[in-house]
Amino acid sequence: MTVQLDAAGRLRHLISLRGLDAGQITAVLDRAARLREEQRRGGAAALPPLLAGRTVTNLFFEPSTRTRTSFELAARRLGALVVNFDIAASSTSKGETLEDTLATLEAMGGDAFIVRHKENGTPERLARHARAAAVVNAGDGNHAHPTQGLLDALSIRDRLGTVAGRTVVICGDVRHSRVARSDVDAFGALGAREIRLCGPQALLPDADGFPGCTLHEDFDAALEGAEVIVMLRLQKERMASAMIADEREYTARYGLDPVRLARAAAGAVVLHPGPMNRGIEIADAVADGAQSLVLEQVANGVFVRMAVLATLLDR
């Protein structure tokens, strides 16, 4: 992924975490933690206006609750103007290409574009087409969701001190998950000891896309010694056909409830990117329990996106 780095090796777009090293990732996490500390001490008004005079445009071609809102909050709190591009009411529906839409919005003064799209590679394509604007991938198909990987890493680091040396289990619909791919990139770069991908055969990915990971169908066995557990949603909108015959059986084998969680290491943390299917992949008692990082993930998402925007736009 060279499009995201400039000639000096600095981040110019954020398309994927693949290929970024621990130093580059840690720099973003540290910056997010510093911004969080400033807000904690002085309120949102104490944040530096790092994006004053800049325009950040949200281009979301797929639904989103957390990601879109947190990019908007992040940009606004650092002083940017935010445009939420209304796709349904736009010329995209008249057949305008995405490249022309981007060129148009950039000509009006757009400095950064936050792109979510169901097709792998769309943010990268737009990054290649942008003149000076930065493109941030907010999730493309099952390819990547880099800010989610970063905010997951920050949430783990906050609670456990480090990602390095940890045994991680990512369970559920790994095949269709861009979150799993970006988590593997982030945790791998930061030195996780072992990453186990777990789910029924039909939802496990080809191992080639997941260097250094092991594949497991038995969740109970995969949980032995796990310190970090990432639960994923069944992404039915990305499945070609019904890949799960019986949801109740899925929950019985792959749902995380307190009994199963007790098999993991003491003090293990549980993450879920949301939206959660409560009662299917995760029980209420786990989602809302002391080991859950779900709301920390959401809160950290805002600071990670601030750090990413500040990094890309303060050239």
Residue bearing tokens 């000509």: 107
**Of these, 77, 145, 166, 260, which contacts ligand NCD (CB under 6 A)?**
145
Work out how close the CB of 234 gets to ligand NCD at its nearest, in angstroms, rounded to a whole number.
Answer: 8
Local structure of residue 9 (DSSP, 8 states): S
- By CB under 6 A, tell whether 205 contacts ligand NCD: no
Q: CB neighbours of 42 closer than 8 A, spacing ≥ 6?
A: none
Residue bearing tokens 């069944």: 234
The pair of three-digit structure tokens given for residue 136, joined into one six-digit string: 């941030």
Q: Strand, helix or coil at 294?
A: helix
In the stretch 77-116, what mask flags binding to ligand NCD with x, by CB under 6 A? Answer: ----------------------------------------
- Residue 90: its H or E element: none
Q: Which residues of 182-213 are buried (b: 16+ CB within 10 A; e: fewer)?
A: bbbbbbbbbebebbbbbbbeebbbeeeebeeb
How many residues line the site for ligand NCD (CB under 6 A)?
A: 11
Q: Which of positions 23-82 make contact with ligand NCD (CB under 6 A)?
A: 66-67
- DSSP assignments along 146-170, one per residue: HHHHHHHHHHHHHHHS-STT-EEEE
The pair of three-digit structure tokens given for residue 25, joined into one six-digit string: 């990732």
Work out how close the CB of 180 gets to ligand NCD at its nearest, in angstroms, rounded to a whole number.
Answer: 9
**Of these, 15, 134, 179, 294, which contacts ligand NCD (CB under 6 A)?**
179
**Of these, 36, 143, 166, 178, which contacts ligand NCD (CB under 6 A)?**
178
**Of these, 92, 235, 251, 291, which contacts ligand NCD (CB under 6 A)?**
235
**Of these, 57, 148, 300, 311, which contacts ligand NCD (CB under 6 A)?**
148
Neighbours of 255 (CB within 10 A): 21
Name which of 57 and 300 has its Cβ closer to ligand NCD.
300
Work out how close the CB of 190 gets to ligand NCD at its nearest, in angstroms, rounded to a whole number.
Answer: 20
**What does the binding site for ligand NCD look like in residue numbers (CB under 6 A)?**
66-67, 139, 145, 148, 178-179, 233, 235, 273-274
